[in-house]
Amino acid sequence: MAFDFNVLNAFNQNTVTSLVTSKYRVTNAIASSDIDPTYDARTQTLTNVVNKILNGQIGPQIEGLASGANKSLAGRPNPISSLYGQPSGYQGIRSVRFGFRFIF
């Protein structure tokens, strides 16, 4: 005979387990030509664009999206979501399980 006893969230805490990570209310994108105005997809590779991103030269484009200076894909201003950084998931409620088994 075997006895099982499981308790999940024994102290019934309401702990945050995840946060909202979507910073903007509207989907947005930064094109390669926004980072490097001389970029031509027909004749160039993305090497120069990637190097500029890695060197931190994408900052003005990101700030423009946050401030509303750059429009979103939908063509509207793109404000930061009021839910950004707020809790989106919590620890489950207390759960207690008892079990008995007969082993032959």
Q: What is the pTM of this model?
A: 0.51
What are the pLDDT digits (tens) for 90-100? 999 999 999 99
What are the pLDDT digits (tens) for 70-89? 666 666 667 778 899 999 99
* 45: Cα within 13 Å, side-chain hemisphere: 3
Radius of gyration of the chain (CA): 25
Structure letter (DSSP) for residue 39: -
Each residue's pLDDT, cut to its tens digit, for the chain (104 residues) gives: 999 999 999 998 989 999 999 887 776 777 787 788 888 888 888 888 888 888 888 888 777 776 767 666 666 667 778 899 999 999 999 999 999 999 88
SS3 category, 87: strand
